[in-house]
Amino acid sequence: MEQIRVRFAPSPTGNLHIGGARTALFNWLFARKNGGVFILRLEDTDLERNLEEAEAGIFSCLDWLGLKWDEGPGTTGLSGPYRQSERFGLYREQADRLLESGAVYKCYCTPSELAQQREQAQKKGFAPRYDGRCRRLSLKEQLEREARGISPVLRIKMSQEGTTVVHDLIRGAVEFENKTMDDFIIVKSNGLPTYNFACVVDDSLMRITHVIRAEEHLSNTPKQILLYRALGFNEPAFAHVPMILAPDRSKLSKRHGATSVDEFRLDGYFPEALVNYLALLGWSPGDDREMMAINEIISSFSLEAISKSAAIYDTKKLTWLNAQYLCSFEPERVAWEVVPFLQARGFVKGNPDEKTFAYIKKVSEVVRSRVHTLVELADASSYFYIDDFDYDEKGVKKFFNREGVAELLDQGKEAVKMIPYFDLPNVELAYRNLIDNLGISGGSLIHPTRLALSGKTMGPGLFDIMVTLGKEKCVERLEKAVCWLKKR
């Protein structure tokens, strides 16, 4: 069987959007599932804005997501180069062929003339399409226009008869009447190819077997199919995946919160969670599995199972998934990943030494089941790293305003001091004994102690906090709280 070859072809403008990320993912999954080749191609024909950073951003996002490309920039694939800006000669060659065969013609209409034509057509109630007037230009007329310094565009001759059918793997046969398409431009007056043309030439020359892309390209597809035929190339199979919409059903944009892969990384999400979430957005394994390892996703994946309707992007489930992953990972990994977030908050200075790392690991283990992201993990761990925190206002009202709290905490401090081995059973035993001896409820000692040690009213179990913090810190903070209470 012919080897499957798919491509992800973003234009490097800005960062990788989650929509693009999902398209890349579906392509990658399809390749991995079928032993195919996943190709990365940069559609950077656009003149001005072509920042190197944008390209690097795409690379790093794909890399972070774990979507390695088999062929693309930086590889020695045989179908290169993989930047359209480095393939202009190839487009020229194909355009010349088309010109020779008479499939395309030169058009000298200027942008302002075209605008005028469109306007007139609209006035008369016609569709604003090019009328093909330059098709009939004689050689003399052409030369005359050249002499006036007009450089032509190349337009393809479209038939007005019949229909063109797109056989879409997700949607089935989609028919387009040819008369709805006009003689569109394939080469601009500056000699550069337009999107539809470059895309077809590249997909042909790169021997792409399956074009998997966003639904917004479905309307372009009949034009591209006609181009394949004019060029004499076989058309690939198509699969147009549904769009991802914002919660208000509009097109996704920056104002809808985090929408780029990079933002999710910065917000403390794991690539596994984002990939898992994205896979489930528009695709389902057919059963009720939700949290899936990447290999599981690969083996269950198929284009036919991709849904036809647009999905609304809602990060709640992503956040839940992230929490699931956070709790399932090795403590080592979590500690390693949370370090940058701790550094950013000044909780950890520089690269942690072995002892600090072990502490971070311990803290993270104790805290992680109540947070969703690395950002939340870092924030919720603050008091493990800094001594200078305020007591939660409501907590003070609730637990510090009682009669005799200072004495109680002082006794707690003394009890802590007496603990020989500061581990979980001993700490708990010591505190339980104190509670029994005083004949009070557990909460009346536990809650003020938590507030004294962390400044918060919620968090990990008190004894976990104590053991993690260590005996010295506990005594210190208990004492500090006693002083604070007495000063009021």
Partner RNA sequence: GGCCCCAUGGUCAAGCGGUCUAAGACACCGCCCUUUCACGGCGGUAACCCGGGUUCGAAUCCCGGUGGGGUCACCA
Active-site residue (options: 254, 349, 394, 417):
254
Whole-number Å distance between alpha carbons of 158 and 321: 50
Give the range of 97-105, 123-131, 351-359, 385-393 binding RNA by CB under 7 A.
123-131
Whole-number Å distance between alpha carbons of 452 and 218: 62
Element (H, E) at 199: helix 195-205
Binding mask 44-63 for RNA (x = CB under 7 A): xxx-----------------
Q: At closest approach, how far in Å is the CB of 190 from RNA?
A: 6
Among 117, 178, 220, 411, binds RNA (CB under 7 A): 220
Residue placing its CB nearer to RNA in the complex, 179 or 343? 179
Tell whether residue 281 is a contact of RNA (CB under 7 A): yes
Residue placing its CB nearer to RNA in the complex, 209 or 221? 221
∠ CA(211), CA(199), CA(51), 5° rounding? 110
Tell whether residue 447 is a contact of RNA (CB under 7 A): yes
Q: At closest approach, how far in Å is the CB of 174 from RNA?
A: 4
Tell whether residue 328 is a contact of RNA (CB under 7 A): no
Position 34, amino acid: N
Q: At closest approach, how far in Å is the CB of 362 from RNA?
A: 16
Residue placing its CB nearer to RNA in the complex, 352 or 445? 445
Whole-number Å distance between alpha carbons of 436 and 187: 87
Tell whether residue 284 is a contact of RNA (CB under 7 A): yes
Tell whether residue 308 is a contact of RNA (CB under 7 A): yes
Instruction: Give the count of beta carbons closer than 10 Å to the beta carbon of residue 221.
Output: 22
Among 3, 101, 120, 250, binds RNA (CB under 7 A): 250
CA dihedral 268, 269, 270, 276 (to 10 degrees): 180
Tell whether residue 127 is a contact of RNA (CB under 7 A): yes
Q: At closest approach, how far in Å is the CB of 386 from RNA?
A: 19
Q: Are 108 and 156 in contact (CB under 8 A)?
A: no
Query: Which of the residues 75 through 114 are near RNA (CB under 7 A)?
Result: 84, 109-111, 114
Q: Where are the beta strands (DSSP E) in 29-90?
A: 37-40
Tell whether residue 446 is a contact of RNA (CB under 7 A): yes
Tell whether residue 128 is a contact of RNA (CB under 7 A): yes
317 is catalytic: no
Query: Which of the residues 5 through 44 are near RNA (CB under 7 A)?
Result: 11, 43-44
Token output for 274: 């984002």
∠ CA(463), CA(469), CA(473), 5° rounding? 115
Query: Which of the residues 135 through 154 are near RNA (CB under 7 A)?
Result: 153
Tell whether residue 443 is a contact of RNA (CB under 7 A): yes
- Bridge-partner residues for 185, per DSSP? 155
Residue placing its CB nearer to RNA in the complex, 188 or 471? 188
Whole-number Å distance between alpha carbons of 323 and 321: 5
Token output for 72: 């693309």
Tokens 């034009």, residue located: 223
Whole-number Å distance between alpha carbons of 476 and 386: 13
Whole-number Å distance between alpha carbons of 452 and 488: 15
Displacement of CA 241 from its chain's centroid (Å): 16
Q: At closest approach, how far in Å is the CB of 421 from RNA?
A: 18
Give the range of 23-31, 284-292, 342-350, 408-416 binding RNA by CB under 7 A.
284-292
Residue placing its CB nearer to RNA in the complex, 71 or 168? 168
Instruction: Give the count of beta carbons closer than 10 Å to the beta carbon of residue 234.
Output: 10
Tell whether residue 280 is a contact of RNA (CB under 7 A): yes
Residue placing its CB nearer to RNA in the complex, 312 or 375? 312
Position 363, amino acid: V
Q: How many residues does this entry show for the chain?
A: 488
Position 350, amino acid: G
Q: Are 225 and 168 in contact (CB under 8 A)?
A: no
Going by DSSP bridges, is the β-strand pair 210-214/237-241 parallel, antiparallel, or unpaired? parallel
Query: Which of the residues 227 through 246 are near RNA (CB under 7 A)?
Result: 242-243, 245
Among 15, 34, 196, 300, binds RNA (CB under 7 A): 196
Tell whether residue 282 is a contact of RNA (CB under 7 A): yes
Query: Which of the residues 200 through 219 are near RNA (CB under 7 A)?
Result: 215-219
Query: Which of the residues 161 through 190 are near RNA (CB under 7 A)?
Result: 171-172, 174-177, 180, 184-185, 188-190
Q: Are 37 and 80 in contact (CB under 8 A)?
A: no
Q: Which residues are catalytic?
A: 254
